[in-house]
């Protein structure tokens, strides 16, 4: 709701073995090498772009410096991976999954690519440019959920209505059309809904959204916290 408020040791021998004996294919950036602090190039920049699109703040300059290493570690913590600050096969795969480029996400789309694709929605097939894995909560127009804003969304003072979501504008700009899916709730459209990023919230930071529901506060609270996918539509 809007008002709700390491370890690593990689020995040199292991690194050399991975680099020279087992060629790595980190699909997230089309790579065939481990990426770690001190590396540079277009593959580093692509990982930075991917992480930035997932809500992690960093500059995509193609230099794997201390900030990029810290960001990779943050992503690894969020995904339950070994926290070593290195982009290897597991971290690269996790980035792919988070962006909807592999795994279950591909089954929901007729086409998946770095530049987007076509996703089947209740409104028919729609073009999208990216997919974000987020944690979702729900809110209503009550004071407990929406504070002094009541029945009004923060963006342009629009009346709250089904299909609106609250977002972190740094991750999903206000006014963006979205397709939200992956939730489990009988009070929301089955299979997902097409909506708009029209609200913000003090607790909605990073890869988080809040879904407006025109239901009682008790029903809204039952939504809990769920992992969902947000397709950023063209």
| Rg of the chain, C-alpha, whole Å | 19
Work out the pLDDT band at 142, boundaries 50, 70, 90: confident
- On whether the pTM is more than 0.85, the answer is no
CA separation for the pair 98, 29 (Å, rounded): 13
**What is the chain's length?**
234
Q: Which CATH architecture has domain 12-99?
A: Orthogonal Bundle (1.10)
pLDDT in tens, 88-111: 888 888 888 887 764 333 333 333
**pLDDT at site 157:** 75
**pLDDT at site 233:** 92
Work out the pLDDT band at 62, boundaries 50, 70, 90: confident
Q: Taking the domains of the chain in order of start, what are their residue ranges? A: 12-99, 104-233
Mean pLDDT for 19-32 is 39
Measured in Å, how far apart are the chain's first and last C-alpha atoms?
27
Lookup: tokens for 35: 């990426």
**pLDDT at site 135:** 92
DSSP state letter for 6 = -
What does pLDDT average to over the chain? 78
Mean pLDDT for 124-134 is 89
Residue 64 above 90 pLDDT?
yes
Residue 209 above 90 pLDDT?
yes
The percentage of residues in the chain with a pLDDT greater than 90, rounded to a whole number, is 34
Assess if CATH 3.40.367.20 describes domain 104-233: no
**pLDDT at site 2:** 59
Work out the pLDDT band at 3, boundaries 50, 70, 90: low
**pLDDT at site 148:** 64
The answer to whether domain 12-99 and domain 104-233 are alike in fold is no
Lookup: tokens for 15: 């690194």
């Amino acid at each position: 709701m809007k008002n709700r408020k390491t370890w690593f040791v990689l020995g040199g021998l292991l690194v050399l073995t991975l680099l020279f004996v087992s060629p790595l294919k980190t699909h997230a950036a089309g790579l065939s090498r481990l990426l770690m602090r001190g590396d540079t190039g277009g593959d580093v920049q692509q990982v930075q772009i991917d992480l930035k699109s997932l809500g992690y703040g960093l500059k995509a300059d193609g230099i794997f410096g201390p900030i990029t290493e810290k960001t990779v570690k943050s992503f690894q913590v969020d995904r339950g991976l070994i926290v070593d600050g290195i982009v290897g096969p597991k971290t690269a795969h996790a980035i792919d999954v988070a962006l909807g480029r592999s795994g279950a996400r591909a089954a929901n789309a007729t086409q998946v690519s770095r530049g987007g694709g076509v996703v089947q929605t209740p409104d028919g097939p729609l073009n999208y440019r990216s997919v974000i894995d987020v944690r979702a909560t729900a809110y209503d127009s009550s004071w407990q959920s929406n504070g002094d804003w009541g029945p009004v969304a923060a963006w342009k003072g629009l009346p709250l209505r089904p299909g609106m979501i609250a977002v972190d504008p740094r991750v999903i700009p206000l006014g963006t059309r979205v397709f939200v899916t992956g939730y489990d709730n009988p009070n929301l459209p089955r299979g997902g809904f097409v909506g708009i990023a029209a609200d913000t919230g003090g607790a909605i930071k990073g890869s988080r959204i809040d879904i407006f529901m025109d239901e009682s506060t008790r029903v809204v609270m039952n939504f809990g916290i769920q992992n969902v996918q947000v397709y950023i539509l063209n």
